[in-house]
């Protein structure tokens, strides 16, 4: 009985010891697992932090690139602004020079026009003076000098508005000089080339006078009648009427 009880006690003690040993082993495993889990968590956090740092560095690098780009763009804008200011200055200067050139050119053109007008006026005065001088020579009966003066007038002023009058006075000068052939040519130049000129009826009267002087009374009468038909209101027409009414 005692042996059996002792044996039971010993068995119970051994069983308790075994249970405690197993419990200690289980506690170590849990601790090791917790340590391992903690280490894994720390490693994960470190990896995450590393990734975040890398991302931050990348972001920082991109930001720095953007800042550099902005600085470069600002510098380029400043250069462009400076270049634009230079261009604007040059443009303003060019516009000013162009304006000054136009003003100068306009002034020169005005001076040229004024000089032309003055020259034209002088030419007119010179033309009138030449005409008056030649008429005065005819009236002074300086027929040779008058002939030379009219020849110069015709040569110097071929487009003159006084050309018909000059031809008339040339005819008168020839008639006074008794160069009736040349007188006829001069008078006919007026009648044929300037029939609307105020000297045309006088030229017809000159032709009638030359014809009468040379004995061609028929032609003289025809010229007088022509005056009455073509220029009835002229002074030459009054003279023609008087000549036609005179006895032969």
Mean pLDDT of 45-69: 85
* Angle value at C-alpha 197, between 224 and 219, nearest 5 degrees: 20
Residue 10, sorted as left (phi over 0), alpha (psi -120 to 50) or beta, turns out to be alpha
Confidence tier at 9 by pLDDT (50, 70, 90) = low
What pLDDT score does 1 carry? 60
pLDDT of residue 248: 66
Whether 186 contacts 171, CB under 8 Å: yes
Distance, C-alpha 228 to centroid of its chain: 60
Distance of CA 25 to the CA centre of its chain: 108
pLDDT at 72 over 80: yes
Q: What is the pLDDT of residue 149?
A: 96
Rounded mean pLDDT of 21-36? 73
What is the DSSP track for 143-178? HHHHHHHHHHHHHH-TT-TTHHHHHHHHHHHHHHTT
pLDDT band of residue 68 (cuts 50, 70, 90) is confident
pLDDT tens digits, one per residue of 31-51: 788 888 888 888 888 888 888
Domain locations along the chain? 161-248
CA distance 118 to 111: 10
For 196, phi then psi, to 5°, come to -95, 0
Residue 204 has pLDDT above 60, yes or no: yes
pLDDT digits (tens, 9 = 90+) for 101-119: 768 777 887 877 765 655 5
Which CATH number does 161-248 carry?
Answer: 1.25.40.10
Per-residue pLDDT of 87-98, as tens digits, reads: 888 888 888 888
Give strand ranges (E) for 142-183.
Answer: none
Whose tokens are 């036609």? That residue is: 244
pLDDT band, residue 15 (cuts 50/70/90): low
Q: Tens digits of per-residue pLDDT, 145-171?
A: 999 999 999 999 999 999 999 999 999
Residue 151 contacts residue 137 (beta carbons within 8 Å): no
- Per-residue pLDDT, 131: 96
Q: Is 83 left (phi over 0), alpha (psi -120 to 50) or beta?
A: alpha
């Amino acid at each position: 009985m005692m042996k059996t009880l002792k044996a039971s006690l010993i068995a119970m003690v051994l069983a308790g010891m075994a249970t405690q040993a197993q419990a200690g082993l289980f506690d170590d495993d849990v601790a090791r697992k917790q340590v391992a889990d903690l280490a894994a968590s720390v490693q994960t956090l470190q990896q995450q932090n590393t990734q975040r740092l890398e991302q931050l560095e990348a972001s920082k690098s991109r930001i720095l690139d953007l800042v550099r780009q902005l600085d470069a763009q600002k510098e380029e804008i400043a250069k462009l602004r400076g270049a634009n200011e230079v261009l604007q200055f040059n443009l303003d200067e060019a516009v000013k020079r162009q304006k000054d050139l136009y003003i100068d050119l306009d002034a020169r053109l005005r001076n040229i026009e004024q000089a032309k007008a003055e020259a034209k006026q002088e030419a007119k005065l010179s033309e009138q003076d030449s005409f008056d001088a030649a008429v005065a020579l005819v009236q002074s009966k300086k027929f040779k000098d008058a002939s030379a003066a009219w020849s110069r007038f015709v040569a110097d002023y071929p487009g003159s508005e006084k050309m018909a009058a000059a031809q008339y006075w040339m005819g008168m000068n020839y008639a006074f000089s008794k160069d009736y052939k040349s007188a006829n040519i001069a008078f006919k130049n007026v009648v044929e080339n300037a029939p609307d000129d105020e000297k045309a009826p006088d030229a017809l009267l000159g032709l009638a006078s030359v014809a009468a002087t040379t004995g061609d009374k028929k032609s003289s009468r025809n010229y007088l009648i022509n005056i009455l038909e073509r220029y009835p209101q002229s002074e030459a027409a009054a003279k023609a009427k008087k000549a036609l009414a005179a006895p032969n």
